[in-house]
A and B are shown apart, each in its own frame.
Chain A
Amino acid sequence: MTEVVDGRKTRKLVLQAAFGALVGAAATYLFFELGEGAVDLDDPVRVAAAASGIVYALIGLFVAVGALVPGAGAKFLNVEDADELIEERAKIGPGALGCLLMGTLLIVLALMPGGLSRDVAAGVTAVCFAGLAALHFWTRGRVDEFNQSLSKEASALAMHMSLVFLSSWAALAHLGYLEWIAPLGLLTAFAVLELGAIFWVVGKRGLLVPR
């Protein structure tokens, strides 16, 4: 049985997407403007890492606010109503935290070496990785079969995309056509491919359809 999407719901989703894009653009502009000198703007790898980190952090922030204040969250997240956010709090809370940790990790590493000391960055990195690992184990078995299926499908897709993209890059680098990707670039590539895979799978399973 297929669902017919009405115009009001589509308008709501378009407005939500436009709002998200606007906040994202403003946050990115502010980050690079206020952090002038902290991030080497001539280094595309650092800029890409910082921009990806901001996207992750904003997604985490929006979802966290939605989980904490469901009444407001229902207005900017694609859910049926505030009750759905309350019901799903145990699942979306860790998801939001995971995005915040990944965003923090990428931003902190992008700030190195100009904007932050190496020891501080190493400490934050360790906390972020430990937090991500803990969340992975904590959420196992706590989500239902549909969400487990989404997670497996997105992980498999991200893995395949990483293999194709990074293997091609490695082959070309080996043959001398390209420089091998910088360590931060590798981390950013994994993060971006993972996020892309999640959105692709979530879209395919109808979760981006206005509700």
Chain B
Amino acid sequence: MENRVKVHREERGWSQGELGRRLGVSRQTINAVETDKYDPSLPLALRMAKLFAVPVDQLFIDGWEPGE
């Protein structure tokens, strides 16, 4: 799933380590999320959205649309 975590992190001038500290996860986790290698759990996604003050669907972009 595509995401804009790196964009929001860099806008705030935070390193991956700094964001990890704020969210209580490792730098590896942030790196894996930013490079689309790992989709975070719902609680972590919600915490990220809250931290960046954006809706979850603006942070994580899913191209799925409901069918007819």
Contacts and interface: CB of A to CB of B under 8 A. Distances in A.
A1 B24 contact: no
A204 B35 CA distance: 12
Contact of B32 (A83, A84, A143, A207): A207
A87 B27 contact: yes
Contact of B35 (A3, A80, A143, A149): A3
A88 interface: yes
Interface in B1-49: 2-7, 16-17, 20, 24-29, 31-38, 40-41, 44
B31 A206 contact: yes
Contact of A1 (B27, B34, B44): B34
A144 B33 CA distance: 13
Contacts of B24: 144
A205 B3 CA distance: 16
Interface string A176-210: 00000000000000000000000000001111010
B28 A3 contact: no
B26 A87 contact: yes
A146 B36 contact: no
A211 B37 CA distance: 14
Contacts of A149: 38
A145 B29 CA distance: 8
A91 B25 CA distance: 12
A139 interface: no
A80 B2 CA distance: 23
Given A84-B17, A205-B32, A207-B32, A146 B38 contact: yes
Given A205-B38, A206-B32, A207-B32, A80 B27 contact: yes
Interface string A1-35: 11100000000000000000000000000000000
A90 B37 CA distance: 23
Contacts of B41: 145
A84 B27 contact: yes
A88 B20 CA distance: 12
Contacts of B32: 146, 205-207
A166 B50 CA distance: 48
Nearest to B15: A80
A145 B44 contact: yes
Interface of A: 1-3, 80, 83-84, 87-88, 91, 143-147, 149, 204-207, 209, 211
Interface of B: 2-7, 16-17, 20, 24-29, 31-38, 40-41, 44
6 contacts: A80-B17, A87-B20, A143-B26, A145-B29, A145-B40, A146-B26
